[in-house]
Amino acid sequence: MNIKTLADELRETIRRDNNEGTGKTVPKKKPASKNALDPIVEGIRDHKLIGKEKLLIRLDDKTIFLLKQLKVTQGIDMNKIISYSLQYFLQKHPQIANHIKETLKNLEL
């Protein structure tokens, strides 16, 4: 008999003992449902950090705290999430890149 079988038997015994007086059955745990954020987290994990240039950026304390929590809970590096977020933002708003290109064309040096 293995440990898993023993643990399952013990859980069933506890459920039965707890429910003898009430006549109710304790529902078993539902399998963890898929979180709506899972595809986003996977996209961030799959994001490749390419490039060699480093930038010093300033972020507010609340954002830093959130990034640190994300590092602890999901194992996602701050640099990776910032890179992913900026790339995602620029892809969703191509007019920004177009505006920069047009401004540089019209810039007189």
Tallying the residues shown for the chain, one arrives at 109
The residue extents of the domains of the chain are 36-109
Q: Among residues 34, 16, 68, which one has the least CA distance to residue 8? A: 16
Is the pLDDT at 32 greater than 90, yes or no? Answer: no
Cα dihedral sign for 80, 81, 85, 91? positive
pTM higher than 0.85: no
- CA-to-CA distance for 13 and 26, rounded, in angstroms? 12
At 79-93, the pLDDT tens digits run 999 999 999 999 999
Is the pLDDT at 56 greater than 60, yes or no? Answer: yes
CA 37 vs CA 1, 40, 44, 81, 86: distances in Å: 39, 5, 11, 14, 18
- CA-to-CA distance for 56 and 85, rounded, in angstroms? 16
